[in-house]
Structures are given as structure tokens and as C-alpha cells.
């Protein structure tokens, strides 16, 4: 009986799960957003929110009319350009017609990188991040399409400028520091001479992160051909995210072999 219980326990531990951050578990009034909890002080408040099994870092300072890292939204405005429309995805909603999604602003004025942390609800902190869906915000999309007072229109007047806007996703270790492993994904790309390949992303597109292996979290940054990265970048440093998916790290083969051996011993004992 004791051996049977051990085998059952091993089989349970080896089973996998997938956690999904859809942001539908976060309450919002229609056509609204959340971009932080501020205590009214000049330096603002470091906070965040949970969806699925992930924590999303947020920082807000109402004194400076400023926020960074992650917010969540159900805004549907796909036509208004400029900073006043920074919480809308160009898709007008979440993946597959859902309402909520996350918006990230990555410049980090107060030194808080745009990070997510795994295992907040399950306690399984080292996980495989399978990926997420990404698209442009309306603010960034229309800036790249038409240009604005700061940023240029991508492709230039004759359509030959090799512009690009790239999202970099870095793996984080147990100390929430970068491991050196990363995935790069272009959310706008005019680097090719064939104009038919030019695009500014305007639909939800899957970003596969399985090559990062087990991670404790992720850190996101943006760079652009228009000014580079950080505060030199002219392109608005925003992207939208939905359906961040994580899964349990597979149990090592040795544990499976141990379980198989115990099952074999049970069979021998029964035959005897």
C-alpha cells in the first residue's frame, strides 16, 4: 500500500499544468484602464497586479502624471493618435474578441524595468514560459504609420527607409536578474527592399518563448531605428500583450524511471 501511494504521488508530481494570464480576471469598467495605485507622494508607488499565475510590475506617480512597466485595459480606440490614447491596442480589444489585455511602457524613468514574475499563485516559480500574444498600441502604431511631432513615419517619404521597432524579451533568474538568454521580435519592420514585406503589426501575433527554458520571470524592452533605445528613442515605447502562457518545468527523467521501477516492483510482488 505504501509503495502504491509513492507511485501515485510521483505520477501526480510529473503531471503538467498550464497557466494563462488573460487579464479577464481583472475588473474594469467599460472603456477604462488601470495604471497603478498611487499614494499621492512625489515619488509615487511601486505596485503591480496578478493575472493567472503571473505578477506584472507597475509604477505610478500622479505627481508627475507618469506610469511605467505594466497596466491593463479594455480601451477600444483605434483611431485617436497621440499620448492621450496610450492605453488602447490597435486591435480594438484582446485576443479572440476578449475585452482585457495588458499595456506596457518600457522606458523606466524611475528605474523600474517592465518585468513579470512566475508562480505567484502556485508557488512554482521556475517555469517554462510558452509565449504570449503581442500587438502594437494605437499610440505607437499611428506614430509609426504617420509620424508625429517627435517620431518619423516608418519607411520615409519614398518608402525606402529601413525602419524597425523591436521587442526584446529577456529571461530572469531566481534573483530576477537577466540570465543573458533573450528572444527578439519585430513589431514593425521595413528592413527589406521588397515593400510587400513591410509591416507595422496590427493584429495579435504569437511570440514563442520556449527556447528560454525554465525562467523565474521576464523583462521586456523596446528599441527602434528611430533613435535607438531608452530616452533617445523617438518611437513611443509601448506594446500590448495578451494570454501570457506558462507551464510547469518537466520532471527529470530519473524521477520517471524511479516511478517505473516502483511499478515494476509492485507487479513482481503481486505475481509472487
pLDDT tens digit sequence for 89-109: 999 999 999 999 999 999 877
Mean pLDDT score across all residues of the chain: 86
Q: How confident is the model at residue 42 (pLDDT cuts 50, 70, 90)?
A: low
Q: Is 147 left (phi over 0), alpha (psi -120 to 50) or beta?
A: left
Instruction: Indicate whether 154 pLDDT > 70.
Output: yes
Instruction: Indicate whether 128 pLDDT > 70.
Output: yes
pLDDT score recorded for residue 139: 98
pLDDT score recorded for residue 39: 64
pLDDT score recorded for residue 22: 98
pLDDT score recorded for residue 183: 98
Q: Taking the C-alpha atoms of 113, 29, 62 and 178 in order, what is their torsion angle to the nearest 10 degrees?
A: 0
How many whole angstroms separate alpha carbon 86 and alpha carbon 75?
10
pLDDT score recorded for residue 247: 95
Burial of 263 from C-beta contacts in 10 A (0-12 / 13-18 / 19+): middle
Check residue 116 and report its DSSP letter. E
Mean pLDDT within 183-189: 97
How many whole angstroms separate alpha carbon 55 and alpha carbon 46?
13
Check residue 144 and report its DSSP letter. H
Residues whose CB falls within 8 Å of the CB of residue 255, separated by 6 or more in sequence, listed in order: 10, 13, 14
Find out whether 219 and 180 touch, Cβ atoms under 8 Å.
no
Check the CA dihedral 107-139-90-184 and report its sign.
negative
How many whole angstroms separate alpha carbon 212 and alpha carbon 128?
8
Strand partners, 130: none
The grid coordinates of residue 237 equal 515605447
Q: How confident is the model at residue 211 (pLDDT cuts 50, 70, 90)?
A: very high
Q: How confident is the model at residue 193 (pLDDT cuts 50, 70, 90)?
A: low
Residue 136, φ and ψ in degrees, nearest 5: -80, 155
Mean pLDDT within 221-244: 94
Closest CA to 78 of 68, 65, 88: 88
- pTM, two decimals, is 0.85
Find out whether 193 and 130 touch, Cβ atoms under 8 Å.
no
Amino acid at each position: 500500500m505504501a509503495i502504491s501511494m509513492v507511485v501515485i504521488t510521483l505520477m501526480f508530481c510529473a503531471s503538467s499544468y498550464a497557466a494563462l494570464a488573460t487579464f479577464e480576471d481583472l475588473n474594469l469598467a467599460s472603456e477604462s484602464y488601470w495604471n497603478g495605485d498611487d499614494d499621492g507622494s512625489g515619488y509615487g508607488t511601486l505596485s503591480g497586479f496578478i493575472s493567472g499565475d503571473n505578477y506584472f510590475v507597475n509604477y505610478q506617480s500622479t505627481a508627475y502624471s507618469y506610469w511605467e512597466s505594466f497596466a491593463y485595459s479594455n480601451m477600444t480606440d483605434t483611431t485617436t493618435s497621440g499620448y492621450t490614447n496610450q492605453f488602447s491596442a490597435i486591435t480594438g480589444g484582446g485576443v479572440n474578441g476578449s475585452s482585457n489585455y495588458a499595456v506596457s511602457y518600457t522606458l523606466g524613468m524611475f528605474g523600474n524595468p517592465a518585468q513579470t514574475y512566475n508562480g505567484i499563485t502556485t508557488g512554482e516559480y521556475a517555469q517554462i514560459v510558452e509565449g504570449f500574444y503581442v500587438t502594437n498600441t494605437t499610440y505607437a502604431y499611428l506614430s509609426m504609420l504617420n509620424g508625429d511631432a517627435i517620431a518619423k513615419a516608418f519607411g520615409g517619404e519614398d518608402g525606402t527607409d529601413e525602419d524597425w521597432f523591436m521587442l526584446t524579451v529577456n529571461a530572469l533568474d531566481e534573483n530576477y536578474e537577466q540570465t543573458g538568454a533573450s528572444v527578439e521580435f519585430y513589431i514593425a519592420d521595413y528592413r527589406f527592399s521588397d515593400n510587400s514585406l513591410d509591416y507595422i503589426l496590427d493584429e495579435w501575433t504569437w511570440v514563442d518563448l520556449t527556447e528560454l527554458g525554465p525562467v523565474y520571470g521576464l523583462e521586456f524592452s523596446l528599441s527602434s531605428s528611430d533613435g535607438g533605445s531608452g530616452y533617445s528613442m523617438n518611437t513611443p515605447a509601448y506594446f500590448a500583450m495578451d494570454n501570457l502562457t506558462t507551464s510547469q518545468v518537466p520532471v527529470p527523467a530519473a524521477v520517471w524511471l524511479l516511478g517505473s521501477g516502483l511499478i515494476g516492483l509492485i507487479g513482481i510482488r503481486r505475481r509472487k
